Amino acid sequence: MATPARVVEDYLGHLAVERGRAENTLRSYRLDLARYVEYCASLGRDELGEVREADVAGFVTALRTGERPLAASSAARALAAVRGLHRFAVVEGLVGADVAAGVSPPSLPSTLPSALSVDQVDQLLAGCVADGPTGLRDRALLELLYSTGARISEIVGADLDDLDVEARTILLHGKGNKQRIVPVGRPALGAVEAYRVRARPDLAGRGSGGPALLLNARGGRLSRQSAWHVLRSAAEASGLPPETVASISPHTLRHCFATHLLSGGADVRVVQELLGHASVATTQIYTHVTVDTLKEVYATSHPRARG
């Protein structure tokens, strides 16, 4: 019997084993699809083959207008999970038609990623006091995030052997188990070396040690949530304006990395490789951030700019 709940479990297993999806991605899919299973049950759809296109569209509407409405981006992500579920069901011969294919996601607002200036990044990093084992670790974490443009999950997932101090590079494990080698700047290497020599042995002694580059206070691998808390604490201690602090997110230093490289003249395809984007179109959003700088230069330099 192809109940929605049963197909969801088979689909998640397919994503984990055959598609190699990351644990964070699987967690998001499981949450979104649990909502979908609950919604199907409320409609009395005991089998996935009973679901109609109007039901899928109604699910998206319910996400946007329910007691705790989701943002358009979150609803679009949930619909992507549902679409994948129905495609899987068709391929596996569990249902006869893909009823989710024609359902459109909600319109997303056209927003650009916020990026701090170089001086503001310096101020943010200075908000992290490199004192004591956890302080040295926190500074190494933030310096690595800005130096490499890595996602927080990629940095906390890095092992000691992934960092090549002599080559000044780090091996990052990105989405879909894709790997890439990224250069590491000297300030970040200095912060990591201070942590490795003066802090990591202490932290490792509190637990089983393990291969993780960044350890928590109990000697285990630093979690993504704890790393985000480190960034947030540094922002609050930095003295940056409250509105700037409020805008800081887990991706802030990644945005700054990309924006500052492009502002400095880096080729967008190089930045694409460094960020681990599958398509250059994903990276090109950052060129919109730097276009203001180009306009300023044009306005002050071109003889016809003020005409």
The residues assigned a catalytic role are 151, 175, 251, 254, 277, 286
**CA separation for the pair 264, 269 (Å, rounded):** 14
Question: 153, 146, 229, 236: which is closest to 191 by C-alpha?
Answer: 146
DSSP letters of 265-282?
Answer: T--HHHHHHHHT-SSHHH
Secondary structure (3-state) at 138: helix
What is the CB neighbour count within 10 angstroms for residue 35? 17
Secondary structure (3-state) at 179: strand
Instruction: Classify the phi-psi angles of 131: left when phi > 0, otherwise alpha if psi is within -120 to 50, otherwise beta.
Output: beta
**CA separation for the pair 254, 273 (Å, rounded):** 13
Element housing 164 (H / E): strand 163-164
Hey, which residues does 182 pair with through a beta bridge?
A: 170
**CA separation for the pair 73, 81 (Å, rounded):** 13
What is the CB neighbour count within 10 angstroms for residue 62? 16
**CA separation for the pair 86, 94 (Å, rounded):** 9
**CA separation for the pair 138, 127 (Å, rounded):** 10
Going 112 to 118 to 123 to 128, the CA torsion angle's sign is: positive
Tokens 């296109």 correspond to 53
